[in-house]
Amino acid sequence: MCRRRWAPHRPRRRRRGVSVPPRRCVRRWHGRLPRSGPCRCCHGDLYALPIVPLPLPNSTSYAAFVQRTNFVPVQGVRSFIVFSLLVVAALWVVVLPYILNATEPPGWLLLVGRWIPALASLVVVLWLVPLRVRLPELWGLSVRSWSRTLIWAGLAFAAVMVAQLLQIVVGVLLGLARWAPAEGWILALVGSVLPITLVTMLSTLGEEVAWRGHLAQALAHLGFWRSTILIALVWMVWHLPLVVAYAVADVMPLAANLAANLGIVFLAPLLAAVAIRGGSIWPAVVAHAVPPFTGLLVTEASPWFHLLFVAVMLLFGIALAPRSGSAEAEQAAPF
């Protein structure tokens, strides 16, 4: 509400899950009020209208993903554009010395560099495009139901594991790879996948707070698929400096690296879907951190073998994507 008694911005009560916009400022000499945002004179704390009305408690529509944000579409699009330019430029600055020297970027840079999107999001929100949203809500870190979040985090982990197992089975049956398990592969698989996932989550968290947190809410008014595709394209472009660095250093063929980078577009729907279903970004952080283990079981894999994993992940993303207007009995996401 407004900080001054004589210019209230008190919203009406919510009726049937729909958010009613607050009243206009009652002082005529404050000038013409903006279409969105608080009064420019008395600086009320409430925006005129959120992006979408609040959904019903049992709705799983994409509007539930942003029910607690105070974005307006113009702010969201401006924040998306500024963030995209900043984060891509930042990674080019970091990787450019390795490209000029034709050397492979070290492993620690890949782990630390995943926090570049989080830093870019912080700069955008605090200085370039200020937003009146608490950072835990903007980044999707707030958790209302730990049981729901943990269940979907487990399902996200299982989805990535099953996708890799299906990739191995189908690839071997089609002759796209040769079955050649390494010695002690069962012990290595059981004893390393979960610890590596837990450690890698410290790194993937820096990406997911931006891709599935900040940008997903900034573009929420576009709907699930349009916003997810736009974010996936920026995510893919963000990886291009690493593609160029690996190609210049002869670490990986350019064609194979570009194909792997293109697969990011098809992985994004699953990460976005589990984040929405789980009510926070933590399921997406878990899914992003699962390490590949196909190298322990197969060799001589063709480029088509790697596309199998992308195809399975895309199918999982389509199956889990929220459908607007569905009547499933699931609590609205608390973003």
In the numeric block, the tokens 């002690």 are attached to 184
Q: What pLDDT is stored for residue 74 in this prediction?
A: 82
pLDDT tens digits, one per residue of 277-296: 998 999 999 999 999 999 89
Report CA dihedral (229, 148, 125, 4) to the nearest 10 degrees.
130
Q: What is the average pLDDT score of the chain?
A: 80
pLDDT level of residue 132 (50, 70, 90 thresholds): low
Sign of CA dihedral 142, 205, 125, 332: negative
Does the structure show a pLDDT above 50 at 48?
no
pLDDT exceeds cutoff 90 at 334: no
Percentage, residues of the chain above pLDDT 70: 75
Compute CA distances 226 → 85, 115, 214, 222, 230, whole Å: 19, 25, 15, 6, 6
Residue 326 or 251, more confident: 251
Domain layout of the chain by residue ranges:
1-49, 62-129+139-320
Check residue 324 and give its pLDDT: 62
More confident residue, 258 or 62: 258
Q: Which residue has the tokens 């019903």?
A: 56
Q: What is the pLDDT of residue 308?
A: 92
Residues of the chain above pLDDT 90, percent: 53
222: region left, alpha or beta (phi > 0 left; psi from -120 to 50 alpha): alpha
The pLDDT, as a whole number, for residue 61 is 41
pTM for the full predicted model: 0.78
Per-residue model confidence as pLDDT tens digits over 91-115: 999 999 999 999 999 989 989 999 9
**Is the predicted pLDDT of residue 328 greater than 90, yes or no?**
no
Phi and psi at 15, nearest 5°, equal -125, 120
Does residue 313 surpass a pLDDT of 90?
A: yes
23-44 confidence digits (pLDDT tens): 444 443 344 445 555 555 444 4
